[in-house]
Amino acid sequence: MSRDQNYENFEVRGEVPQARFGHTITLVSKTKAILFGGATGDTGKYSITGDTYSLDLLSKTFTKIEATGTSPTPRAAHASSAVDSLQMVIYGGATGGGSLASDDLFLLDIRNGERSATWMIVPVVGITPGRRYGHTLAFSKPNLIIFAGNTGSETINDVWTLNVERSPFAWSKVEVTTSPPARVYHSSALCSTGSASGMMVTFGGRAIDQSALNDSWGLRKHRDGRWDWVKAPYKASITPTHRYQHTTLFIDSLMVVVGGRTNTVGESVPLEVYDTESSEWFRFSSVLRFRHTCIALDSTLFVHGGFEHETPNVPTGKMLKIETSRLFKENTILAPKGKSSPKPEPRPLPPAPEEKKSTISVVSNTPDRGNPLQNIFINHLLRPTEWNTPANARFGFRREHIFALTEECENILKSQPMVLRLRAPIKIFGDIHGQYADLMRFFDLYGSPSEEKKAGGDLEGFDYLFLGDFVDRGSHSLETICLLMALKCKYPDHIHLIRGNHEDKWINNAFGLSDECQVRLGEDPNDPKSVFARINRMFEYLPLAAVIEDKVICLHGGIGSSLETVNQIDALPRPLEVIHEVSNDLQQLVVDILWSDPTDSDMEIGIQPNVIRDPNGTGNIVKFGPDRVKDFLARNGLSLIIRAHECVMDGFERFAGGDLITVFSATDYCGRHKNAGAVLFFKKNLEIKPKLIYPVDNPYGSNWIETEESLKKRPPTPPRWRNTDNRKKSYE
């Protein structure tokens, strides 16, 4: 290490990280930085870490962060960048043993303090830059930019960008006519002053032939959307040292290159400065570090970790402080420039819901509450007038994103009772069965669960209740359940989901969801770590009923032969697996709630066999008459039952003299019934108004269950009008 008086040790305290190399330190606010990852140990016995620390530059204090959420795997030689105040992203890296980290983009959010820090995978649709290490990641608002690196098999020179203000997120490969040579272990930094303002400037690195480089290139975006590279000119007086595994930072219009190593072992590598205005290089005393990291506070540089040339196999934990104003003091050209202009603080993401100010979001360019994961699902899926995804198309979200969303939804369900107590006004939806286009039509025509009034949102005026059977039969179960989970997570007290008979692994393994996960996610549904399995575990925590205004009970199927009081439902345990081969009263109660139907008419009383649903005559699935309905309502002080479960011609149908209403929201069920779909508007005065949609040609694909053979194995939910001869004749 140089003993130059301009370089001094920066003594830190607190939870000081182990000595390491290949890590990153990222400045996320004026005085706070985040350290992540790297490798610790010495002389070949290195361990890759996933540690996260914050560093307060004013108090010189490190704090270890124990973040919640989906954390990145341990890695080194990755890249990081701040995207907004107190937020940063990381990408790529090596995990040891020749393996590379995933191609996920991870976001760390510490806006609520280190103790409430959260990691998440940023949901990205489409292709990615792929796995790599030794690359760079920069943020030129609104674009994240990845450049070059090594894929594990080759050194590359590609450029990828991601616009953080455009939802859904998608990586885009930049096509240019001229590119820098391929490289790894180079550096990139954003210039924000002078003629190179807005450019990502890349310097040095190691070429395909393992030689060190000393060229500089600037990447810029033109107003017409084109990107291009410009090679930086050098005046002949001084040429920079060829190097790699170094760092660069900008102070004003000056690019400062710190440390690194050359192709000559142990060679002293000077600190060098490139003036982007004059194209001149300047040379100063060496900082003998490589595989280190560096940040800048105004005109002061802080160097952390890496290897010192004197001990190239043992990383250091020391921090150096470099006062560039002192370093440049005797240089008449650099001295006036080496004073960093205060950078404007990045605009932060939306605060927690209780805060009032509105700010820009890395996942949404509109003020919004909720966390980024919820918002990206909602922004991508809640598009009543724009949605048009064909059947069998690859689902736009990764498995990791769905896992995280499902876990969050499950945690909310666990905190809520088995019988929800709700207030009017509220909209009540019946079976959707993966017919996502119908759901979007309802939202388009009759209002959507959004706070955006100009876009048809009516969440301030209505809660939403969905009576189960979100999945199966239709071709877009993934869109349906993911949107409903995201809405539940964002508005847990306004979006309500109860369980249907298809929210059951034994049913949806055969009738749609399993096939859809296999085709659209490319997974094995039988794998216990599959999305299919994870969603079904969440289903076991869904409530089985809701009571509105202490007057109306809502459930999926019915009251069957065993349900006598609401308290019986409240007492059911969770997680709750549906047992179809009933052997006790509790199992029968669950089957009654999820599977039973009213009798075919008000004239048929008592408990009747349900021949279509129970062809083997086990007696587990039954029909209940109007007398059972009236007895149940009287015993519980209720006035109405609202249920789903059966396809009805007009989308809704009354039974038991109006004491029970069936609502069904999927039109032209299974592509063969031509039925309407309905949603019930339950008003504050307890008035109920049905709103209907009618079958249209389905441009989004067919159902998962569509062949005659598969329909024989389990027919669709029987339409109620087919249960009476008169209705059947008039329909046909």
- For the stretch 239-271, pLDDT in tens is 999 999 999 999 989 999 999 999 998 788 999
- For the stretch 598-615, pLDDT in tens is 999 999 999 999 998 988
**pLDDT at 720 (0 to 100):** 56
Task: Centre a 10 Å sphere on the Cβ of residue 348 and count the other Cβ atoms it contains.
Answer: 18
Segments forming the whole domain that contains residue 443: 373-387+398-713
Average pLDDT, the chain: 88
**pLDDT at 137 (0 to 100):** 97
**Lowest-pLDDT choice from 367-371, 467-471, 642-646:** 367-371
**pLDDT at 348 (0 to 100):** 39
Task: Centre a 10 Å sphere on the Cβ of residue 594 and count the other Cβ atoms it contains.
Answer: 25
On the question of pLDDT at 566 being above 60, the answer is yes
| Residue 469 half-sphere exposure toward CB, CA atoms < 13 A | 28
**Lowest-pLDDT choice from 94-103, 335-344, 669-678:** 335-344
**pLDDT at 126 (0 to 100):** 85
451 and 307, same structural domain? no
318 and 205, same structural domain? yes
C-alpha distances (whole Å) from 59 to each of 13, 17, 117, 138, 343 are 9, 16, 20, 27, 21
The distance from CA 344 to its chain's CA centroid, rounded to whole angstroms, is: 28
Query: 355 versus 342: which is more confidently predicted?
Result: 342
**pLDDT at 525 (0 to 100):** 94
Residue 498 to residue 207: CA distance in whole angstroms: 59
Residue for token pair 């900008």: 250
**pLDDT at 340 (0 to 100):** 47
Contact 436, 473 (CB under 8 A): no
Q: Is residue 352 part of a domain?
A: no
- Catalytic residue (choose from 23, 292, 502, 673): 502
Q: Is residue 173 part of a domain?
A: yes
- For the stretch 63-92, pLDDT in tens is 999 999 889 999 999 999 999 889 999 999
Q: Which residues pair with 64 in a beta bridge?
A: 53
Q: Is residue 79 part of a domain?
A: yes
Q: What is the mean pLDDT of residues 278-289?
A: 91
**pLDDT at 43 (0 to 100):** 77
Contact 218, 279 (CB under 8 A): no
379 and 316, same structural domain? no
251 and 153, same structural domain? yes
Q: Is residue 223 part of a domain?
A: yes
Which of these three, 308, 328, 348, is where a domain ends?
Answer: 328
Please report, for the domain that includes residue 278, its CATH number.
Answer: 2.120.10.80
On the question of pLDDT at 524 being above 70, the answer is yes
Q: Is residue 257 part of a domain?
A: yes
Q: What is the mean pLDDT of residues 211-223?
A: 94
On the question of pLDDT at 716 being above 70, the answer is no
On the question of pLDDT at 712 being above 60, the answer is no
481 and 425, same structural domain? yes
Provide the number of structural domains found in the chain: 2
Residue 468 to residue 507: CA distance in whole angstroms: 13
**pLDDT at 370 (0 to 100):** 55
**Lowest-pLDDT choice from 279-288, 367-376, 693-702, 720-729:** 720-729
**pLDDT at 715 (0 to 100):** 42
**pLDDT at 45 (0 to 100):** 86
Q: What is the mean pLDDT of residues 99-125?
A: 90
On the question of pLDDT at 339 being above 60, the answer is no
Q: Which residues pair with 549 in a beta bridge?
A: none
On the question of pLDDT at 438 being above 90, the answer is yes
pTM equals 0.57
Query: 77 versus 717: which is more confidently predicted?
Result: 77
Task: Centre a 10 Å sphere on the Cβ of residue 5 and count the other Cβ atoms it contains.
Answer: 10
124 and 42, same structural domain? yes
pLDDT band at 4 (very low <50, low <70, confident <90, very high): low
On the question of pLDDT at 469 being above 50, the answer is yes
Please report, for the domain that includes residue 624, its CATH number.
Answer: 3.60.21.10
Q: What is the mean pLDDT of residues 140-166?
A: 94
Residue 681 to residue 254: CA distance in whole angstroms: 64
381 and 289, same structural domain? no
SS (H, E, C) 569-606: HHCCCCCCCCCCCCCCHHHHHHHHHHHCEECCCCCCCC
- Contact partners, residue 13, CB within 8 Å, separation at least 6: 60, 61, 62
Residue 520 to residue 502: CA distance in whole angstroms: 19
On the question of pLDDT at 583 being above 90, the answer is yes
Q: Is residue 732 part of a domain?
A: no
380 catalytic residue (yes or no): no
- For the stretch 682-691, pLDDT in tens is 998 889 999 9
Burial of 16 (0-12, 13-18, 19+ CB in 10 A): middle
Residue 605 to residue 602: CA distance in whole angstroms: 7
Say if strands 169-173 and 124-125 run parallel, antiparallel, or are unpaired. Answer: parallel
Q: Is residue 643 part of a domain?
A: yes
